[in-house]
């Protein structure tokens, strides 16, 4: 019987997704535009979500923390984004 070789790849992929999500959150913090920040926080949440489902143990907790950070930053920046977009449409 052959060993399951897909299991290590799944966790490696999930760890890579957490790293990419963290990078997206950092980029969102660096961008001055609320629309750009929303975009990168949303990307971070999208990349972190599959990691929460695929990871096991402590790595799942880290992925959940990254997902929670991305979602909370989305909620925090939304009023500023809405105001920014209202000014943009008024032009």
Q: Kindly report, residue by residue over 46-55, the tens digit of the pLDDT.
A: 999 999 988 8
| Cα-to-chain-centroid distance, residue 33 | 18
Indicate if the pLDDT at residue 1 is higher than 90. Answer: no
91: confidence class by pLDDT, cuts 50, 70, 90: confident
Indicate if the pLDDT at residue 4 is higher than 70. Answer: no
Model pLDDT for residues 14-66, shown as the tens digit of each residue: 889 999 999 999 999 999 899 999 999 999 999 999 999 888 888 899 999 99
pTM for this predicted structure: 0.82
Nearest to 74 by CA among 50, 38, 28, 32: 38
- Domains annotated for the chain, with CATH where assigned, are 12-90 (1.20.58)
């Amino acid at each position: 019987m052959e060993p399951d070789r897909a299991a290590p790849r799944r966790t490696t992929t999930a760890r890579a997704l957490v790293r990419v999500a963290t990078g997206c959150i950092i980029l969102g913090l660096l961008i001055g535009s609320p629309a750009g920040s929303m975009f990168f926080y949303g990307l971070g949440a999208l990349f972190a979500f599959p990691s929460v489902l695929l990871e096991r143990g402590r790595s799942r907790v880290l992925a959940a923390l990254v997902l929670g950070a991305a979602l909370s930053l989305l909620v925090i920046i939304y009023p500023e984004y809405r105001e920014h977009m209202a000014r943009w449409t008024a032009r």
